[in-house]
Amino acid sequence: EVLLLESGGGLVQPGGSLSLSCEASRFAFGTYALSWVRQAPGKGLQWVSAISDDGRNTYYADSVRGRFTISRDNSKNTLFLQMSSLGPEDTAVYYCARHSTAFHFDSWGQGTLVTVSS
Amino acid sequence: DIQMTQSPSTLSASVGDRVTITCRASESISSWLAWYQQKPGKAPNLLIYKASTLESGVPSRFSGSRSGTEFTLTISSLQPDDFATYYCQEYNSDFRTFGQGTKVEIK
């Protein structure tokens, strides 16, 4: 069974930065694209960012472009999300998700909570 | 950007009811649509992809269909485990837009 384990969430002040990680196991990490998806408290799902299997192509939602950076280390089976200039609107549970070979999301991590507050 | 309009936002139903949730795309996405189920405090779980293909292990009471840019998730006979929130998601674009979600509540 695919395993995705997010970490790095926590409390950060407005304007601050935070880095999330998603450690993967039980599949060929370097052959799958991955995304970050977030969910604000009591709200719906919002796609945040995606990265191709080789890391060469990255994509961002308009709301985070220029502030967030997605990356991956295929040698360590780990996905990253570097977040900066954080605001209260970035408060959410952040999930990493694997893109299937048919491009939908077939596996999700359990999520890590990011709280932006003074 | 593609917009996904999901309805209703809340649905009250009883065990055994037939339930239908609709998602409309603002432009053509072919059949590149998935449905997910999410329970409180848990990650989403894939139900259906490519509009109508049932994910392995998902009960056959779940089905999906497409008519143009309108997509439907149907639960043929609602079970106690099905009370949850359901989301559609397009994956035709690079932005993977989700619908707003439909909460299925106990009537």
| pLDDT tens readout for residues A94-116 | 999 999 987 899 999 999 999 99
Rounded to whole angstroms, how far apart are CA atoms B45 and A111?
Answer: 13
Q: Would you call B44 and A47 a contact, using CB atoms and an 8 Å cutoff?
A: no
Q: Would you call A104 and B34 a contact, using CB atoms and an 8 Å cutoff?
A: yes
pLDDT band at B95 (very low <50, low <70, confident <90, very high): confident
* Cβ atoms within 10 Å of A81's Cβ, excluding its own: 26
pLDDT exceeds 90 at position A86:
yes
- Number of helical H runs and strand E runs in chain A: 0, 11
DSSP state of B50: T
DSSP state of B56: T
Secondary-structure breakdown of chain A: helix, strand, coil percentages, each rounded to the nearest 5: 5, 55, 40
Rounded to whole angstroms, how far apart are CA atoms A7 and A114?
Answer: 10
Q: Would you call B43 and A109 a contact, using CB atoms and an 8 Å cutoff?
A: yes
Given the structure tokens 């960012």, which residue do they identify? A49
The mean pLDDT value of chain B amounts to: 96
**Tokens, residue A86:** 């954080």
Peptide bond before residue B8 is cis, with ω within 30 degrees of 0: yes
Taking one residue from A and the other from B, the number of pairs with CB-CB distance under 8 angstroms is 57
Q: What is the pLDDT of residue B37?
A: 98
pLDDT band at B100 (very low <50, low <70, confident <90, very high): very high
Q: Does B64 touch chain A (CB under 8 A)?
A: no
Q: Does B95 touch chain A (CB under 8 A)?
A: yes
Q: What is the pLDDT of residue B94?
A: 82
Contact A70, B10 (CB under 8 A): no
Contacts of B91 in chain A (CB under 8 A): 103-105
Q: What is the pLDDT of residue A58?
A: 96
Given the structure tokens 């329970």, which residue do they identify? B39
pLDDT exceeds 90 at position B4:
yes
Q: Is A55 helix (H, G, I), strand (E, B) or coil?
A: coil
pLDDT band at B1 (very low <50, low <70, confident <90, very high): confident
Per residue in A35-67, pLDDT tens?
999 999 999 999 999 999 999 999 999 999 999
SS (H, E, C) A56-90: CCEEECCCCECCEEEEEECCCCEEEEEECCCCHHH
* Cβ atoms within 10 Å of A96's Cβ, excluding its own: 30
Q: Would you call A46 and B55 a contact, using CB atoms and an 8 Å cutoff?
A: no
In degrees and rounded to multiples of 5, residue B8 shows phi and psi of: -80, 175
